[in-house]
A and B are shown apart, each in its own frame.
Chain A
């Protein structure tokens, strides 16, 4: 296959926010597009950029210029690279190869099926067993005297986008379930997603009813009645329609719609007004356009933030989650959440609400469980929304990205409440699009089983848990959950900020040059090592007959865990020692030095990042294999995440 292997020399990489460029060689492998800076000076490490084909959202060939043929590549992880290829023919070759590569038509072509980390079969299987949703419902206290596990969907017959195991009120008989599912869009009838044990209040989810202008369904009404009856704390159940009222009303014309309060006894109906996937897609596109423009003024930036509406949408989702949380935790009422199909806005609101209500979901493992439950198992259409296969562009939407951003906004307000830092969110986002692990492939559980993902691919959760020390939030305080079991975020607009580390992840010049997070994390790890050293030294002293002084209560270890050594990969790959950082900074300064001629023109005074090594080692491993093998053996995705500091 000609398009798989090729290298083009003398390619220039233009920096996104300055007038600088570097030249190097562009390699195309079966899985990656790799740019390697030519080593002009032996002292500085050559810059490398690795782009996974699945990450490429679009490739654009601009019109020919005197210096060559420009190629602009936009990635789903918000990386934008601008190459200039000298010969038009080479450019066209790369362009057409990429076009073919970035639009896989069948799941088998996805990286997850060829990705092979050095892992044995047992480890791989264990990875898939890490998260057990049955155990999660048990943790919530379900099944119990009011809620039970139903097997109606054992064979995906009632609803093919739901998981097999579903929890319903004990009083909801099979005919009620079947009847209700027929009255709901795509058969997604009301089921339990979170149980607030303290007040026995339930969060349930479903899709819109097929009510049209007047249709009703007694089974569906009984279903809601059953949900209401299962909670003695409240005489009514809230029905949250997360759509704007206008959208919901428009749906009535198509035979869908919303619950009529007159037909359902004891419900309180509420519209929330989160916009649909198309609005969100356009909004994020506009946002990226705004922040992607060079020499952006503060006023254009702020006006752009306003007019794209992204932060307003983010706030709407958080507001909805707060409404849900208050209804459940303060009023003790059960809540039924739906939107149109119940897999986008519903997933956002249910999962974010659970995150506010339950400290478990604010731990690393708990957060994975939450995503597994509300997003993966309940059938958020990851394949369509993230454009995994060449599909309908209208189905693509950053709904999950938006959810991650909502979580980030909360971590900013509650720096001690989350076990993980934003690196975990960024890494999850990276891999939702990388198609390197099986977790997010396809649209629902049924499809996943058909693809035998559990047998043929690896689980992201295992990978993340293995290196979880990189994702720890050093300020996390486990006892915070005792004093603040329920988070009450402020919804004042000034508390919602632009998530620079997500949308400019790869634009190093935008970021702080020193990272507090990384520094404190390193210190915390070093504390554990020092504690060990002290124990060791004291033991040796004891051999000399000197007993250790009585332990200073102040200096008692706060964190007993012994952390494994940090892998050299990842975001935190940045030099850990100050000296290295300084050396790099000096390099940076050198770079600025080259810019002096434009020093006095009216250009942006940003100082671009140094040319750090992104994955130097793996490249040297690979160098020999370019021509020979299609699949690079050691490639994992970590280099995709930019080193954002120093």
Chain B
């Protein structure tokens, strides 16, 4: 096995593990191909199992012959390992470094992982585009499922099946694809049942400096408009960024060629800026200084909350165009794989109650992120601690989760899931035993044959016990559109992720458990009352009968 060559010292005794707010553990450290394991000699103390893939960076320190490795994880946790013996420590450190930065997809853990649980429902088959389309068909006949991309030749980042206007043939789609960045021609993202309006998404149009146009592209998006109605194009970039894109062959839809569309520019930042923001935010949260001014200025300088606000605002805008103005919307940025997806998926959370259920949210992530070609592998290969120069890394999906959390905070009874679900997704996008977030697109996943070779995260999540753990006890279906407030005073720092390892969560957990208990107890009592009432009613109707004869 090739991993063996990478592991110089597979096992060290007398290693001490230190974690904030938890007791230290002394035990044996073992390195395997995919895990760092620390187990104490006592039977009942917990073991640490850490995926190498979860390790973002390590630091070594030596005091005499005692070495210390500080392990910084992608889920933002920081742990410390005290290892006796300089050589052992160096060996362990270099092994971890190599194992945590393996590039080869074929060595990734999901391909080796065998589930220890019984798969009731195969998550790889839970959210097929065909099934999603069946729901759409029940509401409208104006759309069809096209397999123009069945061999991924029209657009490498799209799935084989996409929903497009019924009147537009595949040939037109091919031509429109040639006019859009990455071949990402406009496709259906969301159908608003209430008024039949739609949200579409695409890549930027390739107008270039000389203002190219494409009749097929115009025809494609105009086909979604009702007679005499105007639509909105939401460009997630500022006007100047969109202007600059022209020089690189990109651009935006001009008024002249798209007279039925009104274009609105917003200012969601590009991924490299978001990554920088995450690094600064995490740095601020880890600052041990007791100065309030320092904390607030660092928080401000990170710009993280600004990004949250901007994304939420844009999503609200899209939702408002659809629900309030009764207009259809096309959303795009540059590639159409990052900010575009943040906006389209959040708008659906706001508009569509189905997306606020556990299953529905999975379907949303599957549809609007995985199938839609968000490059998870590139975006999540490093997190906030990594020393290596970021390439394509960006917390695009994490920002989306943060925005969902903000809405969840404001409508705590309207979501079937609790924040645990969001934290879980955050963890699994960065390091996982499941194949769900591997690869960068549907085509990559299909080439790797992941649905056969790996287990889906959804298979695990949708088991009853896990569903219960992730459920929000306060949930009551709310069929309405939920408009969040985006005032800075209403947006909070997501403590569940960013301060998770910075404080003891025991107090908060216990308070949460107490709340769950009150709710469950209420259900029990209600059941009991109903039973007793039924019993009593039965007796009272039976008894007169007994007495009369």
Is A599 in contact with B410, judged by CB distance below 8 angstroms?
A: no
Q: How far is the CA of A564 from the CA of B499 in the complex (A)?
A: 40
Q: Closest chain B residue to A473 by CB distance?
A: B511
Residues of A within 8 A of B145 (CB): none
Residue of A nearest to B324 (CB): A596
In the complex, B453 has a CB within 8 A of chain A: no
- Please measure, in the bound complex, the distance between the C-alpha atom of A291 and the C-alpha atom of B488, giving whole angstroms: 9
- B116 interface residue per 8 A CB criterion: no
Does A490 sit within 8 A of B, measured CB to CB?
Answer: yes
Q: Contact partner of B309 among A298, A309, A510, A585, CB < 8 A?
A: A298
Complex Cα distance, B476 from A645, in Å, reads: 16
What residues on B are CB-neighbors of A413 within 8 Å?
507
B481-527 with Cβ < 8 A to chain A: 481-493, 499, 502-503, 507-508, 510-511, 514-515, 517-519, 521-522, 524-526
**Is B528 at the interface (CB under 8 A from chain A)?**
yes
- Tell me, rounded to whole Å, the shortest Cβ–Cβ distance linking A289 to chain B: 14
Name which of B102-110, B179-187, B300-308, B382-390 contacts chain A: B300-308
Q: Are B324 and A306 in contact (CB under 8 A)?
A: no
Kindly report which residue of chain A lies nearest to residue B504, judged by CB atoms.
Answer: A490
Least CB distance from B410 to A in Å reads: 4
Given contacts A413-B507, A599-B320, contact A312 B474 (CB under 8 A): no
The chain B residue with its CB closest to the CB of A593 is B324
A481 close to B (CB within 8 Å): no
Set of chain B residues within 8 Å of A475, measured between Cβ atoms: 511, 514-515
Closest residue of chain A to B543, judged by CB? A544
Residue of A nearest to B533 (CB): A537
**Are B296 and A588 interface neighbours, CB within 8 A?**
no
Given A298-B306, A504-B489, A514-B413, A494 contacting B525 (CB threshold 8 A): no
Question: Is the C-beta of A323 less than 8 angstroms from some C-beta in chain B?
Answer: no
Task: Report the minimal beta-carbon distance from A573 to chain B, rounded to whole angstroms.
Answer: 18
Quick one: which of B320, B478, B487, B526 contacts A604, CB cutoff 8 A?
Answer: B487
A592-611 contacts to B, CB under 8 A, are 592-593, 595-596, 599-600, 604-607
Q: Are A493 and B486 in contact (CB under 8 A)?
A: no
Would you list which residues of chain A between 297 and 317 have a CB under 8 Å from chain B? 297-303, 305-306, 309, 311-312, 315
> Does B317 sit within 8 A of A, measured CB to CB?
yes
Q: Evaluate contact between A306 and B290: CB separation under 8 angstroms.
A: no
Chain B, 538-549, contact with A by CB distance < 8 Å: what is the 0/1 string?
Answer: 011001000000
**How long is the Cα–Cα vector from A144 to B138 in the complex, in angstroms?**
81
- When the two chains form their complex, are residues A511 and B490 in contact, meaning their CB atoms are under 8 A apart? yes
User: Which one, A78-86, A449-457, A524-532, is touching chain B?
Assistant: A524-532
Taken together as a complex, chains A and B put the C-alpha atoms of A554 and B320 apart, in Å, by 48
List CB contacts (< 8 Å) of A514-528 with chain B.
514-516, 519-520, 523-524, 526-527
Judge whether B522 and A490 touch: CB under 8 Å: no
Q: Is the CB of B493 within 8 A of A512?
A: no
Q: Which residue of A lies closest to B326 (CB)?
A: A596
B529 at the interface (CB under 8 A from A): yes
Indicate if A578 sits at the interface (CB-CB under 8 A): yes
Q: How far is the CA of A299 from the CA of B533 in the complex (A)?
A: 58
For window 233-276 of A, CB contacts with B under 8 Å fall at: none
Question: Taking the complex as formed, is A566 at the interface, i.e. its CB lies under 8 A from any CB of chain B?
Answer: no
Q: Are the CB atoms of B293 and A306 closer together than 8 Å?
A: yes
Q: Check if A510 sits within 8 Å of B507, measured CB to CB.
A: no
Q: Which residues of A contact B490 (CB under 8 A)?
A: 500, 510-511, 606
Do B297 and A495 touch across chains, with their CB atoms under 8 A apart?
no
Contact with B along A557-574 (1 / 0, CB 8 A): 010000000000000000
Tell me whether A514 and B412 are in contact (CB under 8 A). yes
Q: Are A607 and B536 in contact (CB under 8 A)?
A: no
Cβ of B409 < 8 Å from any Cβ of A? yes
B residues 56-75 touching A (CB-CB < 8 Å): none
Closest chain-A Cβ to B282's Cβ sits at a distance in Å of 12
Given known A530-B526, A537-B532, A589-B480, contact A311–B521 (CB-CB < 8 A): no
Q: Which residues from B are CB-within-8-Å of A526?
A: 522
| Count class of interface residues, chain A | 35 or more
Whether the pair B518, A524 counts as a contact (CB closer than 8 A) is yes
* Contact present for B532 and A534 (CB under 8 Å): yes
Instruction: With A291-B489, A514-B413, A537-B532 as known contacts, state yes or no: A607 contacts B525, CB within 8 Å.
Output: no
Q: Which residues of B contact A604 (CB under 8 A)?
A: 486-487
* CB pair B486 A527 closer than 8 Å: no
For residue B522, which residue of chain A has the nearest CB?
A523
A519 in contact with B539 (CB, 8 Å): no
**B45 interfacial by beta-carbon distance below 8 Å:** no
Cβ-defined contact, A586 with B480, below 8 A: yes
CA–CA, A585 and B484, complex, Å = 12
Please tell me if B316 contacts chain A, counting CB pairs below 8 Å: yes
Among B306, B479, B540, which residue has its beta carbon within 8 angstroms of that of A299?
B306
- Does the CB pair A592–B324 fall under 8 Å? yes
Would A303 and B300 count as touching, CB distance under 8 A? yes
Residue pair B521, A302 in contact (C-beta under 8 Å): no
B404 to chain A, nearest CB (A): 15
Interface centre among B232, B264, B414, B487 (most CB of A within 10 A): B487
Q: Which residues of A contact B289 (CB under 8 A)?
A: 493
Q: Chain A residues near B483 (CB, 8 Å)? A: 588-589, 592, 605, 607
**B532 engages A541 (CB within 8 Å):** yes
How far, in whole Å, are A500 and B508 apart by their CA atoms in the complex?
20
Residue count of chain B within 8 Å CB distance of chain A: 79
A463 at the interface (CB under 8 A from B): no
Cα A526 to Cα B526 in complex, Å, equals 10
Interface residue A394 (Cβ < 8 Å from any Cβ of B): no
CA distance A607 to B487 in the complex (A): 10
Q: Is B462 an interface residue (CB 8 A)?
A: no
Most buried by A among B292, B293, B309, B476: B292
Interchain CA distance A510-B325 in the complex, whole Å: 24
The reply to whether A495 and B522 form a contact with Cβ atoms under 8 Å apart is no
Min CB gap A556→B, angstroms: 10
A 622-643 to B, binary, CB cutoff 8 A, 1 in contact else 0: 0000000000000000000000
Partner of B474, one of A302, A496, A516, A546: A516
Q: Is the CB of B313 within 8 A of A494?
A: no
Interface centre among A300, A504, A554, A592 (most CB of B within 10 A): A592
B365-395 contacts to A (CB < 8 Å)? none
Is B535 close to A, CB under 8 A? Answer: yes
List, in ascending order, chain B residues with CB within 8 A of A212's CB: none
Alpha-carbon distance between A514 and B492 when the two chains are bound, in angstroms: 16
Tell me, rounded to whole Å, the shortest Cβ–Cβ distance linking B280 to chain A: 13
Known contacts A414-B507, A520-B518; decide if A537 and B529 are in contact (CB<8 Å). yes
Mask: chain B, 153-171; 1 = CB below 8 Å from A; 0 = not? 0000000000000000000
| Cβ-based interface call for A44 (8 A) | no
Query: Is the pair A523, B320 in contact by a Cβ cutoff of 8 Å?
Result: no
Any B CB within 8 A of the CB of A171: no
Q: Which of B448-489 contact A (CB under 8 A)?
A: 474, 476, 478-489
The reply to whether A512 and B409 contact each other, CB–CB distance below 8 Å, is yes
A415 within 8 A of B: yes
Which chain A residues numbered 478 to 526 have a C-beta less than 8 Å away from chain B?
490-498, 500, 504, 509-516, 519-520, 523-524, 526
A641 to chain B, nearest CB (A): 19
Complex Cα distance A301/B299, Å?
A: 11
Name the CB-closest residue of B to A599: B320
The docked-state distance in angstroms from the alpha carbon of A240 to that of B161 is: 73
* Shortest beta-carbon contacts, A-B, top 4: A493-B295, A607-B483, A302-B300, A415-B511
Residue pairs across A and B with Cβ atoms less than 8 A apart, 24 shown, are A291-B489, A297-B306, A297-B488, A298-B306, A298-B308, A299-B306, A303-B296, A312-B293, A416-B511, A416-B514, A474-B515, A477-B510, A494-B502, A500-B489, A500-B490, A510-B485, A514-B411, A515-B412, A533-B529, A555-B521, A589-B480, A600-B232, A600-B262, A605-B317
Residue numbers of A with Cβ under 8 A of B are: 17, 291, 296-303, 305-306, 309, 311-312, 315, 413-417, 474-475, 477, 490-498, 500, 504, 509-516, 519-520, 523-524, 526-527, 530-531, 533-534, 537-538, 540-541, 544, 546, 554-555, 558, 578, 582, 585-586, 588-589, 592-593, 595-596, 599-600, 604-607
Q: A493-B292, A494-B499, A524-B518 are in contact. List 4 more A-B contacts (CB 8 A).
A: A520-B519, A526-B522, A592-B324, A604-B486
